[in-house]
Structure 1
Amino acid sequence: MSAYIAPSQIAQRQLEYFNGKHVLVAGEVEDLFPLELVAHCKSVEVFTSNYSYYRQIRNSDKIKSYFGSEFDTDTQADMLLLYWPKAKAEAEYLLAMLMAKLGVNTEIIVVGENRSGVKSIEKMFKEYGPVNKYDSARRCSFYWGTCLNEPKPFYQAEWFKSYTVNLGEQALTIKSLPGVFSHGEFDLGSQLLLETLPPLAGKVLDFGCGAGVLGAFMAKANPGIEIEMCDINAYAITSSQATLAANGVSGHVFASDIYSDTAKDYRFIISNPPFHSGLDTNYNAAESLLGNAPQHLIREGEMIIVANSFLKYPPIIEQAFNNCETLNKTNKFSIYSAKKS
C-alpha cells in the first residue's frame, strides 16, 4: 500500500518531468509526496488553503510552505504541480491566480481523480496554452502543458460572490470566494440553526465559519457578544473577514484545525459542522468537534449545532456532555443542543 493518494502515485510514475525544475505545488494535495519531489527538483514550494495540511508540512526544512487564500510571495517557480480541487470554481481561481503570478513559459502538471472532473483542465487551460493528457492510472489522469499566452492580472476582489440573506429583521451581505461552503447561496441547515438560536451572551465560537453567515448574523443580532470564527480553509477565513466588513461588524477570524488554535473559555460553540472530506463523507472532524467541545466551554457553556438528520451525532454528543436535546427538526435537518454541567 502506498502512503500516497492516487494523484500523487500517478505523478510519482512521471518523475522525469520534474527534473531540475523549481516546482510550486498547489490544490488538493494531502500527502507528503512534495518531500519526495525535492530529490528530483531544484526547489519545491507548497501553497495550500488547508490549515491541517499546512500544519503537517510547515515544519519540513526541505521545502517552503505557505498557507492562505492568495499566493502573493516572491517565487522562482517555473513549474506548477496542481492537484485538481473538488470544486471546479476553485480550480479556475487557482489557475487565474497562479498563472498571473508565474507567467509565460511556466510548465504545468495537473493530476486528479477522474470523478473529480480533472478533464475540465483541457478546456480551462486553453486561454493560457496547450495541455494534454500523458498518463492515466488508478482512475486518475496526468496532464502536462505550458503557459504560452500572457495571463491576465489577478485581483482577488473580483472573485468574491456577493449575495443577501434575509432572516427576520436582519438583512446580511455575504461575501464568498470559490471553494467555500455555501458559495453564492444560503444553506438551509444554517437557516434553521439561526432561526432556532436562543439569545447569546459572552464569548461565542462559530466553528467551521465558511463564508461567515452564522458569525455575522450572531454578531448583528447579539451586539454584546465577543464573536470568534474559525475554519480550516483559507478561502473561508478571507470570505468571513469580508462578510464581517460588509456588514459593519467585527470579530476575530482565524485558522484552526478543529480545536488546534481555539480558546477554552467559550460560553457558546455554534456550528454547522462540515462532514465532507474530499468527495466522501467523513465523521472524524465532526466527532472531534463534538467529543472535545466540553473542554472548550466554560461552566454552564452550551454547544448548539445543526446536522443532517441521518448523521448519528446524538450518541457522540450524549457521551461527551451526558445530555443532548433536539431543539428543532425538519425532515432533513436537526438542531442539537448540549450543556456543560
Structure 2
Amino acid sequence: MFEALTPVSEMLARNLDVLSEQPLLVCGLLEDNLPGMLAQAGPAPHIFTTDFRYYQWQKNQGQCAIEFGVCPEKIEDATGLLLLMPKAKAEAEYLLAACLPLLSPGAQLFMAGDNKGGVKSAPKLLAPYCEQVNKLDSARRASLYQAELMRPAPIFKLDEWLSGYQLEQEQLKICTLPGVFSAGHLDSGSRLLLENITQLQGRVLDFGCGAGVIGAHLLKRQPELELECIDISALALEATRLTLAANGLSANIYASDGLNQLSGTFNHIVANPPFHAGLKTFFHTTESLLSSAKHYLVSGGSLTLVANAFLPYPELIEKSFGHCETIAANGKFKIYRAVNR
C-alpha cells in the first residue's frame, strides 16, 4: 500500500544531503517509506501521523520511531521539521502549530509537496515563524522549501483549533478540527443519510465517523444504542469525542484500519465512507467495507451507506450480500442498504 515512492519523495531523494544533516520530525501527508529512506541516509527521523493506517504500516517497518495522535508529545532527538503538505491548508497550519513548539530557535524547517496540492503556499504558512523562506528544489511536479525557526513558537492549545456548527433540525452541536471531513458545514450526502436512516437497535457501528455527525444523530434519537465510532484519523476521532461530549452523549470511539480492529458482530453498520485520500480518489477502504461487512453483522443485521451516485457500489454490495436496495437519492448521492440474510 505504501511501498512505492511518491513523486514528492522522489524529489526529496535528490536532497538527502541537506535533509539528513539532522534528525527530523516528519509529519503531514505520509504515503510511502520516506522515513526509511531518510534513516538510511542519516539520523533516523521521528514520525508523527494522524493516520492510523500509516501508523500501523510504519510500525511494522520497525525503522523509525512513530507517534499517532492529535499532536506530537515526544520527539526523541529530532532537531528539525519536514512537513509534507496535507490536502487541507488549515491542516498544514495546524501541524506547524502543533510541532514547532517542540523545536528550538535555529531549527531547520522543510516543507514539501505536490505543486497542485498547495505547497506553493509554504512561504505564507511559514511566515509567522521564519524571516526568510527559500525554495530548494522543484522536480517531478513537486517542490521543497527551507526556512529557519527564528523564535520560540507559541505553546500549542488544541481548543484554539476547534470550530463547529449547529444542526438546528437535530438540535446538535458539531465540533470539528482542521482536515476533518465536513468540517465547516453538513455535507449534502450526510444530510440525505440523516433524513433516511430508519430506527436501529442494539450494537451499531459508525464507520468513518468524521466529526461524529451520524453517531450524534443516532444517539440523540435513540440513547439506548450501543454505539461504536471508528476512523483512521486521530483528528476525526477527537472531533467525534468532542461532538458527543458537547451533546451529552457517549460511545466507544477508537482507531481502526477499515474493520480490522473490530471485535464481535453488530446489528447495524452505518457509513459515509471516504472517497478522497490526499490528492487521489480512494476506493480501497470502501471496497473492503462492502466485501467484509456481512461477516461483522448478526443475522438480519444491516449495512446502510451514502455514496456518490456514480460510484459502482451497488454491484459490490450485491456481490457480497446478494442484493442491494437504493432507499434514497438526491441526484448527487444515493443511500444503499443491504441485510445479512
Match of 1:39, SS state, is helix
User: What does residue range 309-320 of structure 1 map to in structure 2 within 5 Å?
Assistant: 309-320=309-320
Aligned to 1:123: 124
**In structure 2, distance between residues paired with 1:45 and 1:92:** 20
Structure 1 residue aligned with 2:43: 42
Match for 2:96: what amino acid?
L
Distance 2:266 2:241 in 1: 20
Q: Deviations over 1:294-319 (max 9, x none)?
A: 01111111001111111111110011
Instruction: Point out the more displaced range, 323-332 or 35-44.
Output: 35-44
Cα distance in 2 for partners of 1:262, 1:184 equals 29
Question: Equivalent residue for 1:235?
Answer: 235
Give the corresponding residue for 2:335.
335
Shifted more, 317-326 versus 66-75: the winner is 66-75
1:144 aligned partner: 146
More displaced stretch, 38-47 vs 202-211? 38-47
Of the structure 1 ranges 16-25 and 199-208, higher mean CA displacement relative to structure 2 is found in 16-25
Corresponding residue for 2:261?
A: 261
Q: TM-score, normalised by structure 2?
A: 0.96
Amino acid at match of 1:9: E
The answer as to whether partners of 1:264 and 1:295 remain within 8 angstroms in 2 is: no
1:245 paired residue number: 245
The answer (yes or no) to whether the contact 2:25–2:75 under 8 Å persists in 1 is: no
**CA offsets, 1:120-172, max 9 Å, x none?**
111111111122111100100011111012212210111011211123xx311
Match for residue 9 of structure 2?
8
Opposite residue 42 of structure 1, the aligned amino acid is: P
- Give yes or no for contact 2:46–2:75 (8 Å, CA) kept in 1: no
Q: Residue 153 of structure 1 corresponds to which residue in structure 2? A: 155
* Equivalent-residue separation in structure 1 for 2:110 and 2:56 (angstroms): 25
Shift in Å, 1:102: 1.6
State the match for 2:84 in structure 1: 83
Structure-1 residue corresponding to 2:209: 209
The residue type paired with residue 288 of structure 2 is S
Paired residue for 1:104? 105
Are the counterparts in 2 of residues 23 and 41 from structure 1 also a CA contact under 8 Å? Answer: no
Decide whether the 8 Å contact of 1:78 with 1:105 is kept in 2: no
For 1:116, what is the secondary structure of its paired residue?
Answer: coil
For the residues of structure 2 that align with 1:210 and 1:193, how far apart are their CA atoms? 14
Per the alignment, residue 274 of structure 1 pairs with 274
Structure 2: gaps of 5 or more residues:
none
Matched position secondary structure for 1:300: strand
Q: Return the alpha-carbon distance in structure 1 between the equivalents of residues 203 and 184 of structure 2.
A: 28
Q: What is the distance in 1 between the residues matched to 2:73 and 2:209?
A: 24
Select between 103-112 and 225-234 the one with higher mean Cα deviation. 103-112
TM-fit CA distance, 1:330 = 1.1
2:200 is paired with a residue whose SS is: coil
For 1:61 and 1:204, the matched residues in 2 are separated by 35
Q: Distance in 2 between matches of 1:309 and 1:3?
A: 31
Question: Is this contact kept in 2: 1:207–1:269, CA < 8 A?
Answer: yes
SS at match of 2:241: helix
Q: Given that residues 91 and 178 in structure 2 are in contact (C-alpha distance below 8 angstroms), is that contact kept between their aligned partners in structure 1?
A: yes
- Residue-by-residue CA offset, 1:46-97 (whole Å, 9 max, x unaligned): 1111111111011333211111111122532111111110100000000111
Provide runs of 4+ in structure 1 moved above 4 Å: none
For the residues of structure 1 that align with 2:175 and 2:107, how far apart are their CA atoms? Answer: 32
Q: Distance in 2 between matches of 1:208 and 1:182?
A: 12
* Residue 166 of structure 2 corresponds to residue 164 of structure 1: yes
Q: Secondary structure at the match of 1:89?
A: helix
Which residue of 1 is the match for residue 19 of structure 2?
18
CA distance in structure 1 between the partners assigned to 2:339 and 2:283 by the alignment: 22
The match for 2:180 is: 180
Sequence identity percentage? 41
| 1:58 alignment partner, SS class | helix
C-alpha distance in 1 between matches for 2:240 and 2:97: 22
Question: Which residue matches 2:283?
Answer: 283
User: 2:204 touches 2:226 (CA, 8 Å); kept in 1?
Assistant: yes
2-side partners of 1:338 and 1:95: how far apart? 43
Q: Report the secondary structure of 1:258's partner residue.
A: coil
Measure, in 1, the Cα distance between the counterparts of 2:62 and 2:309.
45
C-alpha RMSD over aligned residues: 1.3
8 A contact 1:264–1:298 mirrored in 2: no
The answer to whether the Cα contact below 8 Å between 1:183 and 1:211 also exists between their aligned partners in 2 is yes
TM-score when scaled to structure 1?
0.96
Give per-residue Cα distances to partners, 1:7-60, cap 9 Å, x unaligned: 111111001113341211100011112112113333311111111111101133
Aligned residues: 338
Letter in 2 for 1:23: L
In the TM superposition, what is the alpha-carbon distance from 1:280 to its structure 2 partner?
A: 2.2
Q: Which one is further off, 275-284 or 204-213? A: 275-284
Could you tell me which residue of structure 2 aligns to residue 324 of structure 1?
A: 324
